[in-house]
Amino acid sequence: MRVIIVEDVESIARSIGDGLERQGCQIVGTYAEAASAIAAAEAELPDVVLMDVGLAGHVDGIVAAEELYVCTAIPVVLLSGSDDPVVIDRAERAGVYGFVKKPCRIAPLLSALRLAVAKHEEVRGAKGLSGLQRLALDHTSSGVVVTDTTHKILLVNRAATTLLGCRRWDAVSRDLAELLTLPDPVATGDHGKTSLTHHPERTVSFAIQRTSLEGQSLLVWTLLPSDDRTCA
């Protein structure tokens, strides 16, 4: 796994780099500020970027992560010494694939990086969306979830994560039934209202459409707050 590390504390960057190399990772480069890291990522196309939230310069790691997500589709895992909900919400909006709180050990960090790469491959293989398409999808007010025919989540946009009460990196690869009470059976053209699996008092409206991409059958779920009658 080829990794770029973006961390402005040299001792931390060196410690993480050494630890990941001992686990078989290739450290493509280590950078202290966003502009150099983005340029390097665009040129080197690593498997994943490990990005600290607090960086030298005027651009923080979350802004840099969003630029990488939109322009290069390289998955990003964020490092932060804070678990402030505002920081985590910004990270989610940036489209990152993981969030690790510092200080952290190498083993869980490596697991987060591997999971980010695996989830990114699933999403990219299922949808093949460009950065601009992902950006547009994340700025629509309707929740959009794409699953395979077994209801495994392949893609989820920002509005859907808000409705479902989950984070993007927690949703991808899960069974939608873990989050939403599904109709039985699930049929193309179905629409109506249903509830969240773990919060039955919270309801959403849904509509289901079947499509295919590169021979794979997919289900596209459109979700709205239950007081919105578009899908009712």
* Overall pTM surpassing 0.85 (yes/no): no
Residues 23 and 106 in one domain: yes
Does residue 135 belong to any structural domain of this protein?
no
Residues 74 and 144 in one domain: no
Structure confidence by residue, pLDDT tens digits, 54-112: 887 777 888 888 777 766 778 899 998 877 888 888 877 777 888 888 888 999 999 99
The boundaries of the domain holding residue 8 are 2-123
Does residue 129 belong to any structural domain of this protein?
no
Range list of β-strands (E), the chain: 2-6, 26-31, 48-52, 76-80, 98-101, 143-148, 153-156, 191-195, 203-213, 216-225
Structure confidence by residue, pLDDT tens digits, 117-160: 888 776 665 555 555 666 677 778 899 999 989 998 888 888 89
CB-based contacts of 116, cutoff 8 Å, min separation 6: 48, 75, 76, 77, 97, 98, 169
Residues 158 and 107 in one domain: no
Residue 204 sits in a domain whose CATH number is 3.30.450.20
Does residue 231 belong to any structural domain of this protein?
no
From 73, 88, 123, the end of a domain falls on 123
Q: How far apart are CA 133 and CA 99, in angstroms?
A: 23
Does residue 128 belong to any structural domain of this protein?
no
Residues 102 and 191 in one domain: no
Residues 119 and 145 in one domain: no
